[in-house]
Amino acid sequence: MIYFVCFCIVLILLALIIIYGKTVDINAALVIISIAVGNGGCYALSVSKGLEEAILANKLVYVMGAFAPMLAFLIVCNVCKVNIPDKVCALLYLVQMVIYITVCNVGNTDLFYKSIEYHTGPFGVYITKTYGVMHTVFMVVVLIYTVATVGVGLVSLNRKNVVSRLNVYILLLADVIVVGTYMLERMVKLKMELLSVSFTLAAIVMMIPLSKAYRYSTSNVWGIYAEELRNTGYIFFDTKLRFMGYNEQAAALYPELLEWEMEKKIPGNGGRFNTFLRQPLSEYIRREDADRSVLSKYNYKGVTYRYRIATLRSKSRKKIGYVIWVSDATGNQE
């Protein structure tokens, strides 16, 4: 019953993340998902009817065990303003996926478990197992993430103008709850899985600083600029000047966009876009310093519109196209 309660609690946390998702980063959402799947696995294991069901449930439990420590590390890095390059993050995910693949092959290979046995007890079903080499690798990786998480947190305590010490303390407390519970299980050799409870408590504790940190973070730009985005028209082109998209405000300002074909060249037959923006866009592209955006204005039927033309780039800084954004500047004539 306790596993089912933990499962429901984490589902509620996941629902809150979905509702208020703009204030929480992707790693926080993923760690809650992994804990939800793991808790579901703990419940399924406790009510399983045979060894095959128990093995399948145990595989779900390890979704939490394999990915939550890594995600907790990335979360602490984000909160502590420690930048982890995307390629390094991808490598970390890849390592955990490889480990989890060996978990998925429990029963077929002896890489993770050499043997596994099914038992029933006063708290429901439990399993005993003999560990294989990949379980040792798994434990070493978990230890590395634990040390790294605590290390990042402790170092960041000295950067009080960058990181809230209270947030760091709370996140470290969440980590201590999980690690302490696991050590207790190993020493006492309980026939009841307590990691589900500890991960649930850690998730609740962790959401307190996370929701606060990202609500007031510069990464939460959507909430800051939502109103501005609604009042600004955006038009996108690729590097070959093919039409790639627009928003509703742009369509209101330039009705011809509704007739343009996606991923085709800009039509040359009239329209407000060709009248006011086609030539400035062409001149911008011809410039050698096209990385610098152009800001200008034009008047139409007594209304002043401000437009900006800029180059679109990927995360790797490769040029992928151009964007034009237009807004009503009638009341702002500076």
Where in the chain are all domains bearing CATH 3.30.450.20? 231-328
- Which residue(s) pair with 311 in the sheet? 322
Query: What is the fold of 231-328?
Result: Beta-Lactamase (3.30.450)
Q: CA-to-CA distance for 215 and 22, rounded, in angstroms?
A: 8
Beta strand 243-246 with 233-238: parallel, antiparallel or unpaired? antiparallel
- What is the full per-residue pLDDT of the chain (334 aa) written as tens digits? 788 898 899 999 888 877 765 556 788 888 889 999 999 998 898 888 898 999 999 999 999 989 999 998 998 888 888 888 889 999 999 999 999 999 999 988 999 999 888 888 776 787 888 999 999 999 999 889 989 998 988 888 877 666 777 878 888 888 888 877 877 776 776 666 677 888 888 888 888 777 666 655 545 545 555 556 677 899 999 999 899 999 989 999 999 999 899 889 988 877 899 999 999 999 998 885 656 788 899 999 889 999 999 998 887 788 899 999 999 887 555 4
Q: CA-to-CA distance for 105 and 57, rounded, in angstroms?
A: 13
Count of CB atoms situated within 10 Å of the CB of 103: 21
Enter the DSSP assignment of 126: E
Q: CA-to-CA distance for 226 and 172, rounded, in angstroms?
A: 33
Class of domain 2-223: mainly alpha
Where in the chain are all domains bearing CATH 1.20.1070? 2-223
